[in-house]
Structure 1
Amino acid sequence: MTKLSVNINKIATLRNSRGGNEPNVVRFAQDVQRFGAEGVTIHPRPDERHIRYQDAFDLKSEVYTEYNIEGNPIEKFVKMVLEIKPTQVTLVPDAVDAITSNAGWDTITNKSFLQETIQEFKSNGIRTSIFVDPVLKQIEGAKETGTDRIELYTEAFAHQYSLGNKQAIQPYTECAILADSLDIGVNAGHDLSLDNIEFFKQNIPNLLEVSIGHALIAESLYLGAENVIQMYLRKLK
């Protein structure tokens, strides 16, 4: 079964919009685990516009499933991850002014940088994953970095699927097959939702984990978080 990791950034966005501590990020992380999620994901950015660095530390003792911290490996981020030692760190090449993640790594151009960063995390017992576009040469490049896993950037699939183009899954399937042959684990995330997750899962062999935030939180406004998490879990079986 593919694990569901819930990205709770949007809960922090809602909290920050009003000040104070409601909704409580730590309590929500506790709840999604109690509802059945097998992981919690956060993606702190330098301006802390949603998840704050302090949140990352506050969550350390409360996430008893898989704790996944995503982000661009700038010095502050690397230092934080090494102190917390989450289950997994997912490296994302975010521009400082990016509203959300919008591209995977060029694993060939950034090979040396990624190798050095990944080795530092792995030597501290932290599983590594890197955000990549569904391009075969980038998967081959990922192998050279030494990463444990890749996270397939799924926005293009989600958009095309919403237009009725199911063939958009093909490059993702091919990349997953190649990654598996190279002994790289496969995660996925970005714009996955209740509408497309079952089809995606059915067509991606050996999919280990999906990280879902925006859609899951939006769906929970109508259907309730516990119900939505259970719906995802059933579709991922």
Structure 2
Amino acid sequence: MACFKNICFVLLINYLGLYNLAYANVEKEIFSSNLDGVSQSVYKKISEWSTHKGLVTLISPYAIQRYERIVPFRNIEEFSDALTGEKENWYVIDGLEEGSTYEARISYAATSPTTFVLEIMGFEDAARILRKRNVLQDHESTSELRVFTTKKLIRVRAIYDGVSITPNRDSQVIIYNIVLENLIYGIPRVAFKLIFLLGVTMGAAYFLFVPKIYNALRKVVEEKEKKE
């Protein structure tokens, strides 16, 4: 029995090691959900803009959008000077519970030497960015009623972070996955499912299969001893 426990422990450590390697290329932001007051006009304009742009909505507690595409900035100087809104993707986050903690993360291939920048913001911050680009007009009134919401937006940008002898390698499209996930005690929700599944599997092996194997081996040994 002790030998079986040791084997299971080694398998568990190796599994967790492989799991971490598989998700090595990850950029993430952890944030808390709060109730923000937004003017009705800003809320309406951002909602209309996101619908017009066809933004993907990531809904809590878990959402994943696969095979997204983005062209990275060539360097930090181009990134800092960007004012037109090119080379960026936006997402809407919805279904957030006030006071809960969430993680937004991006995973991408190891063959893409890229640094991703994730910015999580409320509607007012998004409106300030869009006003600078003349995407939104500023007609907000101080006496305007406010809408309270936990909705947020994510802006994703990328910077090429490598050296290549291949021409235009730094302007090729990068494929990535983006995930929104609720954290429970700082641990992603999906990890609890994996732990539960692993526990059930190990429990079944320990209490069902090991005794049967042990009894079968014991019978073989006893029969061999009788023959001798």
Q: Do they fold alike, i.e. is TM over 0.5?
A: no
Band the TM-score falls in, shorter-chain normalisation: under 0.3
- Of Structure 1 and Structure 2, the greater helix share is in 1
- Of Structure 1 and Structure 2, the greater strand share is in 2
State the TM-score, normalized to the length of structure 1: 0.21
Comparing both chains, which one has the higher relative contact order based on Cα–Cα distances under 8 Å and sequence gaps of 6 or more? 2
State the TM-score, normalized to the length of structure 2: 0.22
User: Which structure has the larger Rg?
Assistant: 2
